[in-house]
Amino acid sequence: MSNESFYVTTPIYYVNDKPHIGHAYTTMLADMLARTHRLLGHDTWFLTGTDEHGQKVQEAAAARGVPAQQHVDEFVQRFEELWKRLEITHDDFIRTTEPRHTRVVQAILQDLYDRGEIYQDEYDGLYDVRSETFITERDLPEGCTLDNLPDHVKPIRETNYFFRMGKYQQWLIDYIQENPGFIQPDFRRNETLGFLRKPLEDLCISRPKSRLAWGIELPFDANFVTYVWFDALVNYISAVGYQSDETQFARRWPCQVHLIGKDILTTHTVYWPTMLKAMGVEMPKCIFAHGWWLSGRDKMSKSSGNVVNPLEYADRFGVDALRYFLMAEMTLGQDAAFTEDVFVKRYNSDLANDLGNLTSRVLKMVHTHSEAAVPAPSDGILQDPDAANLWKVVNAAVEGMTAQIEAMRPDLGLADVMTAVREANKYIGLRAPWKQAKEEDKQTLFDTLYMALEALRVCSALLYPVMPAKMKALRHMIGAGEGEPGPEHLRTFGVLPAGTPLIEGEGLFPRVQVKKTEPQAPAPKATKKAENVKEISEIGFEDFGKLDLRTATITAAEKVEGADKLLRLQLDVGGAPRQIVAGIAQHYAPEDVIGKTIVIVANLKPAVIRGVESQGMLLAATQGKRLTLITTAGEMDSGARVG
């Protein structure tokens, strides 16, 4: 076992939610990272769990006519059962209703209160029941005002307790800038820094029991319970021994990776670090925000009815196929499309055609020509150029997977492994063992088959963290044993003992038939119009009124990888962060646009461009080959309406 430690967490999931593809993806990603670090011999700890307090839980329990604790005890089983089904190997599952967590939260609150980090004050403003947060007028949905509030937003005036979060604003800015790996990917770091450009307010960390009784009671005032986010974030340290087991805490903390969805970036990159700073606890190494799974080009949402049920795909295609697709398809940090067509194409290409075909053809030849046992290789097997090249590619896969996991690019690591699988298929084609089998001397055939088996052994070990059940079956079939693979033989050739019996097995990945769709008529070709168009199509005022044009300040900019014309822009739109992709890279360098206040179409449906989500469109004027951004003439706050 290596001295290196690896502690990875998922967010704790809201117990009222029905588990969906977002929950499944984050948890399978954490599981894959944990399994890979175990494979590499690292001291690994993987935490997940459920967030069980708050107003919505209280209301749901009341609607069912059951106590809140009974409600969460029943609903938490949906997550526990799904993680078993998806082969999740968490070392701990924490629930925020557990005494071990409650004790730590109350100890932290008492300490911060005693040191003046928490104070009492009156709040007079708006409260969003849906998100259980206090909001400002600028946070209201489009078309809503103080005189026309949505049903889930209520005016409220009440006494509460506040955490002095604002005092740590400059410290947090400095820490983020001095530690570039703290928030990843880079554009999420810039998004947080953009959020911190405006004054950071203190955080309300209580709710009066007269309004909300289901929560952790404040130790210094029994009339209040703890705000659900202050409670929930503490799970990352309460689960590993903070203030209860100093040895365990020293062994596990700081956490190497907090995995989160991009929708909870602010709570994890602003609330959590300032809380830890006030507590005097070391910062986590990295907070990594991954993107969303889209249904085609649209975000999945319950209201749209396009949320993917992970169990449905696990039942149809197998758990391991689902795990592989999710890990291989998404570039961490970016959004990715989940459609059945994309799923089936990757399944058939990588798993059925490449890995499945290699396994079946090698095993068939061994069973037929080597008495169903690992053949004995010759002493100079690696002196053959074809064999030496294959082993070189396999070793490159080991190095690539190790490096890409460290870089949080599992998709690239898996691509390296599949390159080795394809190289093994190519090797079989070059060596033509079906022809070698006709020769009197079978040693050349045995060398070919042994080389292919060794490539399968290493590739199956590298793929084990992603597809544990299928790779366990494969390793059993090729005589590599039934236990989990370890780090000791990843780079070693000649591990499979000659004469080891091979096991008959069914095809690992049966090919899936792609549903046929009716051919669509080609779109009409666009015709080039004259540059100075005199005839302009007229629209009604009601059509123009559908556009929501807003000012936006560019806080960060960078080129989109692999696209010469595209810039990824991070924007501040009235205090709300937003990202757009714009085809202006041939006219503006990234550093030239930072700080500009531009005009955007704010209500344009999000689209994915070159794998990057774009949440709107900027306005620009073009004439010939010239392009100029539409900007404000004088100082104007971001988020102002244009029109």
Position 398: which residue type?
V
Residue 362 inside a domain? The answer is yes
Amino acid (1-letter code) at residue 62: A
Q: Please give the tally of structural domains in the chain.
A: 2
Percent of the chain with pLDDT strictly greater than 70: 89
- The predicted structure's pLDDT at residue 336: 87
Looking at residue 639, what is its pLDDT?
Answer: 74
Q: Which of 108, 53, 45, 116 is nearest to 234 (CA)?
A: 108
Note the pLDDT of residue 518. 45
Task: Find, among 287, 208, 282, 206, the residue nearest to 250 by Cα.
Answer: 282
Residue 361 has a pLDDT of 92
* Mean of pLDDT values over 498-503: 93
Look up the CATH number of the domain holding residue 484.
Answer: 1.10.730.10
Kindly state whether residues 549 and 452 are assigned to the same domain. Answer: no
Can you tell me the mean pLDDT for 112-129? 91
User: Is residue 606 in a domain?
Assistant: yes
pLDDT, average across residues 551-559: 78
Given a cut of 80, is residue 591 above it in pLDDT?
no
Average pLDDT over residues 500-521: 73
Residues 484 and 557 in one domain: no
pLDDT for residue 513: 75
**Closest listed residue to residue 545, CA positions, set 469, 612, 641, 468:** 641
CA angle 432/435/440 to nearest 5° reads 130
User: Which CATH number do you get for residue 586?
Assistant: 2.40.50.140
Q: Based on the number of CB atoms within 10 Å of its own CB, is 512 exposed (0-12), middle (13-18) or buried (19 or more)?
A: middle
User: What pLDDT shows up at residue 526?
Assistant: 42
pLDDT in tens, 520-541: 444 444 444 334 434 445 655 5
Of the given ranges (224-238, 244-258, 430-444, 567-581), which has the lowest mean pLDDT?
A: 567-581
pLDDT value at 629 more than 90: no
373 occurs within a structural domain: yes
pLDDT score of 544 more than 80: no
Same-domain check for residues 380 and 484: yes
pLDDT of 528:
41
pLDDT at position 595 is: 67
For residue 355, what are the domain limits? 335-489
Whether residues 484 and 551 fall in one domain: no
Who wins on pLDDT, 143 or 235?
Answer: 235
Are 342 and 448 contained in the same domain?
Answer: yes
Q: Is residue 637 predicted with pLDDT exceeding 80?
A: no
* Residue 636 or 210, more confident: 210
Same domain for 553 and 467: no
**Mean predicted confidence (pLDDT) in 125-129:** 82
pLDDT at 641: 77
pLDDT at 525: 44
pLDDT at 36: 96
CA distances from 519 to 255, 380, 543, 600 (A): 51, 55, 33, 36
Of 540, 539, 547, 541, which Cα lies nearest the Cα of 619? 547
Kindly state the average pLDDT of the residues 178-205.
Answer: 95
**139 occurs within a structural domain:** no
What pLDDT score was predicted for residue 535? Answer: 45
Report the C-alpha gap between 128 and 133 in whole angstroms: 5
Instruction: Provide CB contacts within 8 A for 348, sequence distance 6+.
Output: 511, 512, 514
- Looking at the fold, whether 353 and 452 belong to one and the same domain comes out as yes
155 phi/psi in degrees, rounded to 5 = -70, 140
pLDDT value for 643: 67
Residue 196 lies in a domain: no
Does 473 score more than 50 pLDDT? yes
- Comparing 437 with 313, the larger pLDDT belongs to 437
Q: Has residue 43 got a pLDDT over 70?
A: yes
Whether 451 and 585 share a structural domain: no
Q: What is the pLDDT of residue 158?
A: 87
Q: Which of 489, 508, 534 is the last residue of a domain?
A: 489
| pLDDT of the residue at 424 | 97
| Per-residue pLDDT, 146 | 85
Q: Are residues 359 and 485 in the same domain?
A: yes
> Residue 549: inside a domain, yes or no?
yes
Which region among 119-133, 228-242, 522-536, 589-603 has the lowest average model confidence (pLDDT)?
522-536
Q: Please report the pLDDT score of residue 260 as a whole number.
A: 97
* pLDDT tens profile 140-189: 887 888 888 988 888 888 899 999 999 999 999 999 999 999 999 999 99
Per the model's pLDDT, the better-predicted residue between 553 and 247 turns out to be 247
Q: What confidence tens digit (pLDDT) does each residue in 270-309 have?
A: 999 999 999 999 999 999 999 888 876 556 555 555 566 7
Write the pLDDT tens digit of every residue in 258-273.
999 999 999 999 999 9
Q: What percentage of the chain has pLDDT greater than the value 90?
A: 63
pLDDT tops 90 at residue 310:
no
Q: What per-residue confidence (pLDDT) applies to 542?
A: 54
Nearest Cα residue to 554 out of 275, 194, 244, 253: 194
**316-340 pLDDT tens trace:** 999 999 999 999 999 998 888 888 8
pLDDT, averaged across the chain:
88
Q: Please state, in angstroms and rounded to a whole number, the distance separating the CA atoms of residues 52 and 226.
A: 12
Please report whether residue 634 resides in a domain: yes
Q: Are residues 550 and 638 in the same domain?
A: yes
Residue 618 to residue 316: CA distance in whole angstroms: 42
| 578 in the same domain as 451 | no
pLDDT digits (tens, 9 = 90+) for 369-421: 999 999 999 999 999 999 999 999 999 999 999 999 999 999 999 999 999 99
Q: Are residues 355 and 459 in the same domain?
A: yes
Amino acid 303: pLDDT: 56
Q: Which of 467, 489, 511 is the last residue of a domain?
A: 489
Q: Examine the pLDDT at 20 and tell me if it is beyond 90.
A: no
pLDDT of residue 350: 95
Q: What is the pLDDT of residue 71?
A: 96
Whether the bond into 310 is cis, omega within 30 of 0: no
- Look at residue 632 in the predicted model and tell me its pLDDT: 77
User: Which pLDDT does position 587 carry in this prediction?
Assistant: 86
Beta-strand (E) ranges in 371-452?
Answer: none
Q: Is residue 583 part of a domain?
A: yes
Beta carbons within 8 Å of 558's beta carbon, 6+ residues apart: 186, 187, 567, 568, 590
